[in-house]
Amino acid sequence: MIKRIAQAALSVFMLAGLSSPGIAEAHGNVTLDEDICVRRIGGNMVHFSAYQPQFEPKAQYCTEIPEIGDTFLVVDLVDPGLRTLPVGVRIVRGQEEGGKEEDQTVAYWRPVSHPDGVVRGEAKLEKGIYRIIITAEGLSPSYYLLRVQQVDYSKLGRKAVGPVMVLLVLALIWYELSKSGRVRNWWASRRA
């Protein structure tokens, strides 16, 4: 019976380790091709970052913005070919593809060339979902979906898998021990 409990515990811990959210959330040391903040305009790469130094001075965000308020937005033109083209950015509240963008536009930076390879600006973001549309002359636009101060239930569920697995293993061990009578004997000796 102890062997069966140990095997079950080992299996659950291995499963919890493989489904650990830390594995899926890597952003810091990934290649550009694997970075969730990289998109393509035509065949050219751009990298998006958002900052809220008034809340967290060194934090960099991509699609999940934790707080409402002033947000610094930066688009790095990774491929040098984009630096000579006029590149513009529009931030639109909502996620509809074909709505009245003029009515929902929160911020707009007109298309100009950026020899330094950086498009930067600031927007005051409220709670909700936004689309960032990056356009370059003659190329199809690129989109980012921003979630400002929103609960991401899928991420929350992934983070809960590990602790839930540990609780299940502990419950299984407790159940097996209670069936064997060891817990009752231990409990009786503690009460005497």
The three-class DSSP label of residue 100 is coil
Q: Percentage of the chain surpassing pLDDT 90?
A: 47
Rounded to whole angstroms, the Cα distance separating 87 from 79 reads: 13
pLDDT, the chain, mean:
80
Q: Tell me, rounded to whole angstroms, the distance of Cα 177 from its chain centroid.
A: 41
Q: Both tokens of residue 81?
A: 């070919």
29 backbone dihedrals φ, ψ, rounded to 5°: -115, 55
pLDDT of residue 23: 37
Contact 104, 94 (CB under 8 A): yes
Which CATH number characterizes residue 74's domain? 2.60.40.1930
Number of domains in the chain: 1
Q: What is the pTM of this model?
A: 0.63
Residue 51 reports pLDDT greater than 90: yes
For residue 173 the two structure tokens come to 């061990």
- Residue 141 is assigned to a structural domain of this protein: yes
Answer yes or no: is pLDDT of 60 > 80: yes
Please indicate, yes or no, if residue 147 is contained in any of the structural domains: yes
Q: Tell me if 17 is assigned to some domain.
A: no
Residue 44 has pLDDT above 60, yes or no: yes
pLDDT per residue over 92-126, tens digit each? 998 765 555 445 899 999 999 999 999 999 999 99
> Could you tell me the residue range of the domain that residue 125 belongs to?
31-153
CA distances from 175 to 5, 85, 138, 142 (A): 10, 67, 66, 54
Give the span between the Cα atoms of 55 and 57, in whole angstroms.
6
Looking at residue 152, what is its pLDDT? 66
**Does any domain span residue 73?**
yes
184 in a domain, yes or no? Answer: no
Residue 41 lies in a domain: yes
* DSSP letter assigned to residue 139: S
For residue 179, being part of any structural domain is answered with no
Is 128 part of a structural domain of the chain?
Answer: yes
